[in-house]
């Protein structure tokens, strides 16, 4: 009986998540555009070497950071690998927390249909005056850049 209840609970959660991901929205974020392999500092941290020129990179829904990984269940870990690579503007250690999912967008890589949800993270560092919001996309892959105002671990 306990196994049946656990199975039904798991099915309910999966159905709820799938239903939420089927929603559609107006953002047109699509495609895999990563042109080079991702390098790692360690298994929990990407090696980021290129600075973004675009001030909207990561800070606006339409220009979310494309970490990929949804199809091999590494999407949430890829998001953390990216965030773990960041430092403040003067090399300060960065902290972050996941605010939640938001912002439905179209993608050919959606698990259920052609839609995905961005994850919104709040990022801060010691001595910083603000908590910044970064949008991450685990459905699509793209070039991983250091957002304007940040540096990265070496």
pLDDT tens for 42-62 read 999 999 999 999 999 999 999
Model pLDDT, residue 35: 59
Over residues 64-110, the pLDDT tens digits come to 999 999 989 999 999 999 999 999 999 999 999 999 999 999 999 99
Rg of the chain over all Cα atoms, to the nearest angstrom = 17
Task: Tell the residue number behind the tokens 């940040």, with chain if given.
Answer: 150
Buried b (16+ CB within 10 A) or exposed e, 2-25: eeeeeeeeeeeeeeeeeeebeeeb
Helix, strand, coil percent values for the chain (each to nearest 5): 25, 30, 45
Report if residue 16 sits inside a domain. no
Report if residue 94 sits inside a domain. yes
Residues contacting residue 97 through CB under 8 Å, at least 6 positions apart:
121, 122
Report if residue 8 sits inside a domain. no
CB-facing half-sphere around the CA of 18: CA atoms within 13 A: 9
Model pLDDT, residue 36: 65
Asked if 147 contacts 57 with a C-beta cutoff of 8 angstroms, the reply is yes
In the chain, the number of structural domains is: 1
Report if residue 138 sits inside a domain. yes
- Residue 54 lies in domain: 24-152
- In the predicted model, is pLDDT for residue 4 greater than 60? no
Report if residue 13 sits inside a domain. no
101 has which bridge partners? 119
């Amino acid at each position: 009986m306990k196994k049946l209840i656990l199975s039904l609970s798991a099915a309910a959660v999966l159905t709820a998540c799938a239903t939420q991901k089927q929603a559609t929205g107006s953002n047109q974020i699509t495609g895999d555009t990563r042109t080079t392999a991702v390098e790692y500092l360690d298994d929990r941290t990407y090696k980021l070497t290129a600075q973004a020129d675009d001030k909207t990179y990561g800070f606006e829904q339409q220009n979310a950071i494309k970490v990929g990984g949804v199809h091999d269940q590494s999407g949430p870990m890829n998001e953390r690998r990216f965030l773990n690579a960041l430092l403040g503007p003067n090399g300060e250690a960065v902290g972050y927390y996941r605010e939640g999912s938001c912002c439905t967008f179209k993608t050919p890589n959606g698990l259920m249909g052609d839609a995905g949800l961005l994850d919104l993270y709040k990022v801060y560092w010691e001595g910083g005056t603000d908590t910044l919001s970064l949008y991450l996309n685990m459905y699509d892959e793209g070039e991983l850049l250091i957002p304007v105002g940040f540096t990265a671990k070496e």
